[in-house]
Amino acid sequence: MTSHLSIQGFGAYVPARRLSNADLERLVDTSDEWIVTRTGIRNRHVLADDESGADAGTIAARRALEAAGLAPEDITHVITATCTPDFLCPNTACLISANLGIHGPMAFDLSSACSGFVYGLETARGLVLAHPDAKILLVSTEALTRRINWKDRGTSVVFGDGAGATVVSACAEGKAPAGGALIEDVVCHADGGQWKLLTVGGGTKQRYEAGDPVDEAFYIHMEGREIYKNAVRTLTNVCHEIVERNGYTLDDIDVLVPHQANLRIIEAVGERLGMGEDRVFVNIQDYGNTSAASIPLALNDAWRAGVFKPGMLALLTTFGGGFTWGAALLRF
């Protein structure tokens, strides 16, 4: 089920401040060996005190527009995937639009945690079908370190901040644009029954009075072992689903670009799919888990490293809180 929809241009941003495993050893009871063995992470980036997720997303968006050869006034819709918005209201997409000087086009946030970018691709596909001339700016940005309990060894070593962006539009020629890719298919799923596995509090479920201190529920909470089991199973299944429904086999996949959550999960999924290290793109060591920004950061890095060659078929796959998961096929 090939559709003539394309990704144009990749842009990304990570904050200048880098937090290494050695830095974390001074903050929490952990070690470089412990972190690398269990997660594969060596560094992550942290927003400056005067930076926000919208700021990071704006920089990534500008870079994506430049790579696509587009100006802000060309954009018809702005979608921001994030689970760490600057505010509950207004939405982060409106803030990014204002930063870019975009006034008038529809702008909204999409919250699907780590699956945000793939969910955003599917949402953009629907908008382009309704509006064939649409040029949709898809920005994934996260400020996860603002919701980390630095005393919690299980989460403080895992997450980092960052943003990635691209533009989704129709592609009449049916071939990948320069510096981009065709979107051949997207699959998205969810199981709300698993919501307790990964949460970020601070919403209206918890009642706060002015002056109340925040408690542990305000920060990222995750059940690591249960997430691992669910993630490996769902990622493997959704990869089979999207490949088979498009008439491919896993041998047709040139490169797997998974959500960079944990190296153990990535390796387990690669093994179950019969895909060796040479066909799986990994950059978790540099950024940690950046949730919705993870896949666009990986796409940007892979593109700039020359990983994608004309004609290559890439398989994206992701899972996140909700519980959400999905996959996409891109043809370069």
Catalytic positions are 114, 259, 289
Task: Please name which of 282, 280, 284 lies closest in space to residue 255, comparing C-alpha atoms.
Answer: 280
DSSP label of 300: H
Residue in the block written with tokens 């830095």 = 23
- Please check whether residue 169 is in contact with residue 136, taking contact to mean a CB–CB distance below 8 angstroms: yes
Record the tokens describing residue 276, joined without a space: 């060796």
Q: What backbone phi and psi angles, to 5 degrees, belong to 202?
A: 100, 0
Instruction: Note the residue count of the chain.
Output: 332
Q: What are the distances in angstroms from CA 128 to CA 25, 63, 167, 187?
A: 48, 22, 11, 17
- Spatial strand order in the sheet of 77-81: 106-110, 77-81, 135-142, 162-170, 5-13, 180-190, 324-331, 313-320, 255-258
SS3 48: coil
Record the tokens describing residue 199, joined without a space: 């949460």
End-to-end CA, the chain: 16
Record the tokens describing residue 178, joined without a space: 């320069």
